[in-house]
Amino acid sequence: MKTDLLKFKSICCQEWPHVTANEPHILPIYNTSAFVFDNIQQGIKIFEGKEEGFSYSRYDNPTLATTAQKLAALESIDLEENAHCVLCGSGMGAISTLFYSVLQQGDTILTQADLYGGTTELIQNNLSRFGIKCIVVDFNDSEQVQKILQEETIKLIYIETPSNPLLNCVDIQAVASIAKKHNIVTAIDNTFASCYLQRPLNDGIDYVIYSTTKFLNGMGNALGGAIISLDYDKYKAAWNVMKLNGTYCSPTDAWYLYNGLKTFPLRMDAHCKNALELAEYLEGHSMVKRVNYPGIASHSAHEIAKKQMSAFGAMLSFEIKGNLDQALSFMNNLQLASLAPTLGNVDTILLHPATSSHLKVPKELREKVGITDGLIRVSVGIESVDDLIKDFDQAISKALA
C-alpha cells in the first residue's frame, strides 16, 4: 500500500498490512467477522465450495475450525474414520441446531424424563409449536421401548447419560442397536461423562452433543456447544442449520475451549478420584438419605456405568435427612464450595435443581423422577478432597444442628 499517498482519515480506517513472520506457538483468536478474498473469482469459488477458504465467521473461522477438528479427533480416537464437529455458541445452541437439522413437522422424538431441564423445556415448549411430538420412555425397560417402536414411527432417539441431576445411565449400545434396526437417528448428550470417559460413536450413536461450557472447557470462562458425527452428510446438515440459525460459537469462546482441552485428561482423572471419595463419604454419613453416583455399588446405574464408562465422572447428587430449609441451609454453610448454576469447572460447585435448572419443569414431573426439593447436585472439583470433605462435614452438622 502506498501509504504516502493516503490521507489521515484513510490510514485510520484501512486495515493495515498485517505484519507476520513465523507461526505463533498458540492458536490466535481470529476476531474478525469476515475474510478478504484475493479477487472476486476466489470469493465465488469459496462460496460455491470449490475452493477451501473462509468467508464469514458465522460460517466458519480458523479458531473455530481448529478447535472443532481437535474435538472431533478426540471423540473418534478409537475409530479408523475421523468424526466431524460443528461448534455452537452454547450447549443449548448445539441441541436446538441438532433438532432443527434432524426433525420436521409431524416427527416424533423418543427420549427420557430426566433430561437436562433446558432440553426438556425446549422439547415441550418450542418443538411442540412446530408439530413435533415427544414420547418419554425408560430406556432401560426394553419391553416398553419395543412396544413404543412397534406402535409409533420415531424419527430421533435422544438420550442423556449419565443424566442431570440424578446420574441415571442408559445402555448406549442397546439403544444404538435397536435404533439401527428401526432406522432411527440417535443422539446423546455426553456432557457429564465427556469423551474422556465414554465414546458413544464407538457404539454406533449418530450424533454426540456437548455443552462444552462444562468439563471440556473446565475453567468456566466461556460458553460453547458441539455436535459431533462420523457421517459427513449429517455433520454438513447440522453445519448448515448452525450457519442459518446463527448458533455459531464466538472465536474467543472457542479459543478458551481449545486451551482448556490441553489439561482435560489431567482434570478428569482428578475430578473422578475426588468424586468417588466424596460419594463414599456421603454414603457413609448417618444424616445423608441417598447418594446418586454411578461409581458406588448402591446406585441403580452402577452396572451400566461400569460397562460403558472408563471412570464414573465428577457429578453426583444427594439428599440430606432434613427438610427443604435444612438442605438450603447446608448449601449456605459451605465455605469452600461455590453455589452456582454450572458444572465441570476445576472448583466444586453446588446447585439446587428444583429451584434452578429444573425450575420450569412441573413439580409433579420432576418429583416423579426423583428431583425432590431436598436434592442437591455437586460438581466435584479438583481441590484437596480432605478439604472438601471437611467443608461438607461442617456444613451438614450446622444445617442439622
Ligand X SMILES: Cc1ncc(COP(=O)(O)O)c(C=O)c1O
Give the footprint of ligand X on this chain (CB under 6 A): 90-92, 116, 118, 160, 164, 189, 191-192, 211, 213, 223, 225
CB of 224 to ligand X, least distance (A): 7
Q: In sequence order, which ranges of 108-263 are alpha helices (DSSP H)? A: 117-121, 142-151, 172-181, 232-245, 251-260
Q: Which is nearer to ligand X, 294 or 322 (CB)?
A: 294
> Of all residues in this chain, which one has the CB nearest to ligand X in the complex?
91
Q: Which is nearer to ligand X, 160 or 206 (CB)?
A: 160
Tell me how far apart the alpha carbons of residues 207 and 227 are, in angstroms, rounded to a whole number: 6
Q: Which is nearer to ligand X, 187 or 223 (CB)?
A: 223
CB of 192 to ligand X, least distance (A): 6
Question: Which grid coordinates are listed for 248?
Answer: 455459531
Question: Which grid coordinates are listed for 51?
Answer: 475452493
CB of 247 to ligand X, least distance (A): 10
| DSSP three-state, residue 321 | coil
Q: Which is nearer to ligand X, 116 or 318 (CB)?
A: 116
Q: Which is nearer to ligand X, 225 or 260 (CB)?
A: 225
CB of 194 to ligand X, least distance (A): 11
With contact defined as beta carbons under 8 Å apart, do 327 and 319 qualify? Answer: yes
DSSP-derived secondary structure letter, 290: E
CB neighbour list of residue 302: distance below 8 Å, 6 or more residues apart: 294, 295, 296
CB of 163 to ligand X, least distance (A): 8
Q: Which is nearer to ligand X, 351 or 396 (CB)?
A: 351
Question: Which grid coordinates are listed for 103?
Answer: 426433525
DSSP codes, 43-102: HHHHHHTSS----BTTT--HHHHHHHHHHHHHHTTTSSSPPEEEEESSHHHHHHHHHHHH
Order of strands across the sheet that contains 338-339: 288-292, 315-320, 375-379, 349-351, 338-339
Question: Which grid coordinates are listed for 97?
Answer: 441446531
CB of 48 to ligand X, least distance (A): 33
Residue 397: other Cβ atoms inside 10 A = 12
Instruction: Supply φ then ψ for residue 320, to 5 degrees.
Output: -90, 160
Q: Which is nearer to ligand X, 75 or 189 (CB)?
A: 189
Question: Which grid coordinates are listed for 1?
Answer: 500500500
With contact defined as beta carbons under 8 Å apart, do 345 and 382 qualify? Answer: no
Tell me which residue of 204, 238, 398, 235 sits closest to 308, measured CA to CA. 204
CB of 91 to ligand X, least distance (A): 2
CB of 92 to ligand X, least distance (A): 4
Q: Which is nearer to ligand X, 271 or 399 (CB)?
A: 271
Amino acid at 18: H
Q: Which is nearer to ligand X, 63 or 212 (CB)?
A: 212
Cα-to-chain-centroid distance, residue 273: 21
CB of 160 to ligand X, least distance (A): 6
